[in-house]
Amino acid sequence: MTNSDSRLTKKDRPTPIDQEILIPDEEVLISVTDPKGIITEVNDVFCEVAGYSTEELVGASHNVIRHPDMPKVMFKIVWEHIKDRENVMALVKNLAKDGRYYWILTDFVTKVNASRQVVNYTAYRRPICKDVQNAIIPLYKALNAIEDVAGMETSEKFLNEYLENKGMTYDEMIEDIIVKHCKKAAVLGFGNNTEDDMKTMSPEKKQSLFNKLFGIK
Ligand SMILES: Cc1cc2nc3c(=O)[nH]c(=O)nc-3n(C[C@H](O)[C@H](O)[C@H](O)COP(=O)(O)O)c2cc1C
């Protein structure tokens, strides 16, 4: 029997503590949702890191693991992409049940049926190194500060202007941060003059690079 009253909601979120959960490089934290964003499946490592059981997570929304340091506008961008059936990556700080945090690069993948209706969404989360975290934190801090005083419309405007000044789309910014700050990228011969490289690189080559960086099979 489903007891909707016992379902975890954002009211159940713990008070954050300033302690990081370090995730081994090879781990992938996976969850699947229905088209409304309700969790339908999770893998063991996601439960282990998040600190919740499968039973607690299935039926809940991911906002139970949303960290207050994550700007609202970042999830708006994610939802806009996936509702349009476009895959998207996001650098995410999540909140574990004990209040600790963990940083991951999340690949959001939309599965559609033959009539292009959304069947489900899957999130593949991989740990990111400190340099990648440090590259995004100042932007998230600025967006959060704006949201606190002026709301999400204003933070969205700020983000759009920020991207315009950089001459990049949101997707290009994320790729740029990863390739410039991920240690493995330098080993693969990336990291210098990356802006040009990423802009001119074919989608297939980009996919292959990210596969190499994050061990996607
Ligand atoms: C497949 C999928 C995975 C998601 N994973 C996360 C996640 O790891 N952390 C998170 O905070 N939000 C995640 N979200 C976004 C949440 O649905 C939600 O938009 C976000 O937590 C903000 O919630 P709020 O606006 O209710 O505060 C995910 C959404 C989908 C569809």
Nearest atom in ligand 1 to 121's CA: 1
Q: Exposed, middle or buried by CB within 10 Å (0-12, 13-18, 19+), for 40?
A: middle
A 10 A CB-CB count for 85 gives 14
Q: What domains does the chain contain, in order, with CATH numbers?
A: 1-128 (3.30.450.20), 130-217 (no CATH)
Amino acid 64: pLDDT: 96
Amino acid 2: pLDDT: 44
The tens digit of pLDDT for each residue in 175-212 reads 999 988 987 766 666 655 555 566 677 777 777 777 77
Q: How far is the CA of 200 from the centre of ligand 1 (A)?
A: 31
Ligand 1, atom 26: closest residue by C-alpha: 63
The tens digit of pLDDT for each residue in 13-64 reads 999 999 999 999 889 999 999 999 999 999 999 999 999 999 999 999 999 9
Ligand 1, atom 17: closest residue by C-alpha: 62
Q: How far is the CA of 100 from the centre of ligand 1 (A)?
A: 17
Amino acid 43: pLDDT: 98
| Longest CA pairwise span in the chain (Å) | 57
Ligand 1, atom 19: closest residue by C-alpha: 75
Any atom of ligand 1 within 6 Å of the Cβ of 64: no
Q: How far is the CA of 197 from the centre of ligand 1 (A)?
A: 31
> Using only C-alpha atoms, what is the Rg of the chain?
17
